[in-house]
Amino acid sequence: MSHKLDIQDIDEITHNVRRIRLTKPEGYEFTPGQATEVAVDRDGWRDEKRPFTFTSLSSDPWLEFVIKIYPDHEGVTEQIGQLAKGDALIIGDPWGTIEYKGEGTFLAGGAGVTPFIAILRDLHNKGKIGKNQLIFSNKTDQDIILKEEFEAILGDQFINVITQEKPSDNHIFLDGVIDKEFLKSHIEDFTQAFYVCGPEPFNDSIMDTLKALGASPDSLVFEE
């Protein structure tokens, strides 16, 4: 079933990421980590559906998405980047992608953090952050999505990794990719759950490295 929903609000949260809040259909429910197909309510774009994860919680009075805009792709996100309050998006029913399966380490690359936002917000609201930690890799400080919120929710369990900027007190500089040595220095227990989401090369590299360090394939949670 599809729903045409008006945009209540749009905020720019980084130079190329928008937070969009929509009116919420009565009775529309989902679980943290779930996604839906989204299309722009414009001629020529209504059948161009793309998956986006809800960043709001089911208890919120709105639906929220955090979406990275790629203007050079001339695609759906470019169109979304042109929208304003009062425009509309078309969404479908929710479906499962990443599901919380217990305390562990979340590893995100760039906009791949979006499936984790609602999960971590939900855990925080319930007082159940526990030992969960987030290792979040970005090219520069300007690219970090919801940095202040992650710091507030996770404290020292938010590990902010930057790969293309000079070292500073605000982040861990890593010249290259998150590798075996980095993971060994920041993770004590490789029997815990691991949640992985980012560009495909990031996902493949992280999951191969985690398995090499002893993580069970059954403990790896990722988008399929």
Domains of the chain (ranges, CATH numbers):
3-91 (2.40.30.10), 104-222 (3.40.50.80)
Torsion sign across C-alpha atoms 131, 96, 94, 200? positive
- 53 CB burial (10 A radius; 0-12, 13-18, 19+): buried
Own/partner contacts of 204-211, CB < 8 Å, gap of 24 or more, are: 205/177, 205/178, 206/107, 206/178, 209/178, 209/179, 209/180, 209/183, 210/183
The string of pLDDT tens digits covering residues 204-220 is 999 999 999 999 999 99
Handedness of CA 127, 143, 86, 55 (dihedral sign): negative
Over the stretch 26-40, which tens digit does the pLDDT of each residue have? 999 999 999 999 999
The pTM is what?
0.93
DSSP state, residue 223: -
Distance CA 127, CA 188 (A): 23
pLDDT tens column, 39-48 = 999 999 999 9
What confidence tens digit (pLDDT) does each residue in 68-122 have? 998 877 799 999 999 999 999 999 999 987 899 999 999 999 999 999 999 999 9
Check pLDDT > 60 for residue 23. yes
Stretch 152-160: mean pLDDT: 95
